Amino acid sequence: MLKDISVGQYYPGNSIVHRLDPRLKIIAVLMYIMTLFFIKSYIPYLFIFIYLTLVVKISGIPYSIVLRGMRPLRWIILITFIINLLFIPGEVLFKFGFISISEEGLDTAIKMAIRLLLIVSGTSLLTLTTSPIEITDGIEALLKPLKVIKVPAHEIAMMMTIALRFIPTLVEETDKIMKAQIARGADFESGNILNRAKNLVPLLVPLFINSLRRADELSTAMESRCYRGGDGRTKFKELALEKKDYVAFVLNMVFFAVVILWRYI
């Protein structure tokens, strides 16, 4: 299950989605997330699903990788679904003892589950089609105007990118530690959810130690390469907008605008 996490992983490719400007891709993802919170009916969700399917097809990323990234969230989605189903008041559809399910609760639970799935699948496409270096450059460029008020744009972008980059690394470390402890007799599969959660506690100490060790190794590597922050640094590849970037960005914004306006039509 741990290897199913797709956020932070990069899938190399040469598709038009991979070659789009990272600044516009970051803005498009932010607009995509905002659009999902404007949706109040099921038809726009269908539009979003078709949109994501087309983007995945154009990017050349196997559908299995995107779908596999949703598996680790199944318990979060299930818990969110149950909470919305049981605790939102409205016209009662089913009642058994103290358990009451309303029409509004069922509707909200379904929409919230769909929204979570779409957010995860949509945001994972950003890291799957954009390398960590491009994400760093894109975030730094978007935060650059804030340098006027002394906001460290480069440092913030670097921290965010390192955090995303190390998600797959920490997942791999966790998997190795679990296999090592299973070989010594640890049991992570049997029992209920609470017992499984308790069994995961011994993973935290070695994982924490390995995280500190990797952070120390990274800082040493950056210092040995004379890294001193963003001041005066040049880039091997400067970001430059091309015609395809403008066309793709406009098409995305028009699509998101139509989905948002659907709520008011």
pLDDT for 1: 47
- Domain presence at residue 21: yes
Q: What is the full DSSP assignment across 205-248? A: HHHHHHHHHHHHHHHHHHHHTT---STT---SS-----HHHHHH
- Domain presence at residue 223: no
Q: Which range of residues forms the domain containing residue 46?
A: 2-130+239-262
- Domain presence at residue 251: yes
- Domain presence at residue 163: no
Short-list 15, 78, 12, 17, CA closest to 51: 17
pLDDT for 232: 65
- Domain presence at residue 204: no
Q: How many domains does the chain have?
A: 1
- Domain presence at residue 211: no
- How does pLDDT run along the chain (265 residues), one tens digit per residue? 445 455 557 888 889 999 999 999 999 999 999 999 888 888 999 999 999 999 999 999 888 888 877 777 777 888 888 888 888 887 777 777 777 788 888 888 899 899 988 998 888 888 889 887 888 888 888 888 887 887 787 778 878 777 777 777 777 788 788 888 778 777 666 666 676 667 777 777 888 888 888 888 888 888 888 777 666 666 767 778 889 999 999 999 999 999 999 888 7
